[in-house]
Structure 1
Amino acid sequence: MNEDWREGAERALERGRRFDRLIPAVLLDSPLSRIGYAWGTAVGWVWGSLWSTGKVQRREGLWVFRGMPGWSFARGGVCVGGCFLTGDRDPSDAILRHEAVHRRQWQRYGFLMPVLYLLAGRDPLRNRFEIDAGLEDGGYVRRSRPAARIAPSAQSSDSP
């Protein structure tokens, strides 16, 4: 598999760190950002309550609204505040780990989150929020294979 995306991902994360230094500290992980997170969660609850036809569950610190129509969310689902809105599939643990990072991003950036996410771009391989949440857990890239194990018969017999 071509892993050229890793270099671009590192550049995107570095750009994001530089950009964050320009944001006044009072807006990050602050009472103001918590208000923005609460607002986002309220919006997610309203949207999920209007359109969800599936089971609503609390998982990984998120309110998961399933059974959303495809037009009501992007890609495989969307995190709005503390809510994950998705279609009919039961989200995997990996997806929920990914979305829990987005929830934490909402807590950090509050009202700024939707704007900053849009500025980061639609390409998940270059979007610092998707990269930070884990491209593999989010299903954007294939999981790296674990290192090959050496079969016992192929190991050296030099040991006593």
Structure 2
Amino acid sequence: MSGTVSRSEQLRRAGRGSRQAVFVTRLALLYAGLWRGTASFDDEFEIFVCTGLRGGFGRGGTTFGGAYLTKGNTARRVLRHESVHADQWARFGLTFPFRYLAEEARHRGPANKYEREAGLADGGYRQPG
């Protein structure tokens, strides 16, 4: 984690060049603060990691834009997985949550194409049988 780069540069990197992803990242950081989380920037995966949240996220953690919200699920493999979700936010912008939820309704968990793209093992999913 790093503090050597300006916050605006971290936001740009976390948003992967997408204004919509930067907007969502800012909202996620505000939301994490309201849940009394602590945000730090991960240089390797270029995402904000917001820890200490007691709720307000799904499963072990959830990525909104370039911010990953969790209580403490911060293994390197998990951050790698969540950084791919940040890439997906940048690619699809504000349509991503709707795309994700529609896919989840048809293909739950490890069958979800967005989870597969992010890496099932890294995300703690079992390979479909």
Q: TM-score, normalised by structure 1?
A: 0.62
Larger radius of gyration: 1
| Pair 78,90 (structure 1): closer, same or farther in 2 beyond 3 Å | closer
Does structure 1 residue 37 correspond to structure 2 residue 38? no
Please list the CA deviations of residues 22-51 of structure 1 after superposition, one character each: whole Å capped at 9, or x if unmatched. Answer: xxxxxxxxxxx9222122112211111111
Question: Does the Cα contact within 8 Å between 2:51 and 2:70 map onto a contact in 1?
Answer: yes
| Pair 110,93 (structure 1): closer, same or farther in 2 beyond 3 Å | same
d(CA) in 2 for partners of 1:137 and 1:93? 9
Question: Does the Cα contact within 8 Å between 2:62 and 2:68 map onto a contact in 1?
Answer: yes
Number of the residue aligned with 1:8? none
Ranges of 4+ aligned residues in structure 1 off by more than 4 Å: none
Does structure 1 residue 134 correspond to structure 2 residue 119? yes
Q: Percent identity?
A: 34
Higher relative contact order (CA 8 A, sep 6+): 1
1:110 is aligned, of 93, 103, 109, to 93
Number of the residue aligned with 2:49? 64
Question: Does the Cα contact within 8 Å between 2:103 and 2:113 map onto a contact in 1?
Answer: yes
Point out where structure 1 has 5 or more consecutive residues left out of the alignment. 1-32, 143-160
- SS of 2:122's partner is coil
d(CA) in 2 for partners of 1:82 and 1:52? 18
1:90 deviates by 4.9
Point out where structure 2 has 5 or more consecutive residues left out of the alignment. 1-16
d(CA) in 1 for partners of 2:81 and 2:26? 21
Q: Cα RMSD between the aligned structures?
A: 1.7
d(CA) in 2 for partners of 1:139 and 1:51? 24
